[in-house]
Homo-oligomer: A and B are copies of this chain.
């Protein structure tokens, strides 16, 4: 009958621990029962602090996106151009390696219409903003920024996700492949900044 001293934040923190402890599938496998067990509490007790499993999931996702954003921001501070872009990519990849479960939580797209996802949409936008800022030094024309940001996000995210999912054999060579990808992205963004009318090449 003693109290566990839980709180909304404590529950979310425990949920993050559960996610972190279960590897890349940790987010998918997140369950109220596991959080309750870790809290030393019966499962229904969690509803005093959290609306539902879906809510808890959302919160973990938001927190994870914030962490990823912060990691990216920290890595790019004081850098510019290619240097910044490489640092961002490395930070992103490191985050995914250090916290696979949280990285997976990062990947769920917020529903554009659901009011419950408002915060998720907001932090996602902030995360994209870091990429925008990172590319600032390339001197891209305004109407090209969006394309460059998307290409960079796609490349990095795709690589990290494939790596996470074990999509690459020959583990030794993965670092070099990442460098090659970054070379492509750096050169590609630079080219996009240089060439006024490139998009939609001969085809």
* B151 A181 Cβ-Cβ under 8 A: yes
Q: Measured between C-beta atoms, what is the minimum distance from A194 to chain B in Å?
A: 12
Which residues of chain B are within 8 angstroms of A170 by Cβ–Cβ distance? 146
Residue of B nearest to A155 (CB): B155
Assuming A183-B198, A187-B191, is B150 touching A177 (CB within 8 A)? yes
Query: Is residue A139 contacting chain B, with contact meaning CB distance below 8 A?
Result: no
Tell me whether chain A's interface is mostly helix, strand or loop, or mixed. helix
Name A188's contact: one of B154, B159, B168, B184 (CB within 8 Å): B184
Which residues of chain B are within 8 angstroms of A161 by Cβ–Cβ distance? 107, 157-158, 161
How many chain A residues touch B (Cβ–Cβ < 8 Å)?
A: 53
Chain copies in the assembly? Answer: 2
Q: Measured between C-beta atoms, what is the minimum distance from A126 to chain B in Å?
A: 14
Name, among A107, A154, A161, A182, the residue most crowded by chain B CB atoms within 10 Å (CB to CB). Answer: A154
* B167 A153 Cβ-Cβ under 8 A: yes
Query: Is residue A21 contacting chain B, with contact meaning CB distance below 8 A?
Result: no
Name A203's contact: one of B86, B124, B154 (CB within 8 Å): B86
Q: How far is the CA of A85 from the CA of B148 in the complex (A)?
A: 19
Q: How far is the CA of A28 from the CA of B57 in the complex (A)?
A: 15
Q: How far is the CA of A30 from the CA of B191 in the complex (A)?
A: 44
A interface residues, Cβ below 8 angstroms from B: 28, 83, 86, 107-112, 124, 144, 146-148, 150-151, 153-159, 161-162, 164-168, 170, 173-174, 176-177, 179-189, 191-192, 198-201, 203
Q: A153-B167, A184-B189 are in contact. List 6 more A-B contacts (CB 8 A).
A: A107-B161, A109-B164, A154-B155, A155-B184, A180-B199, A184-B185
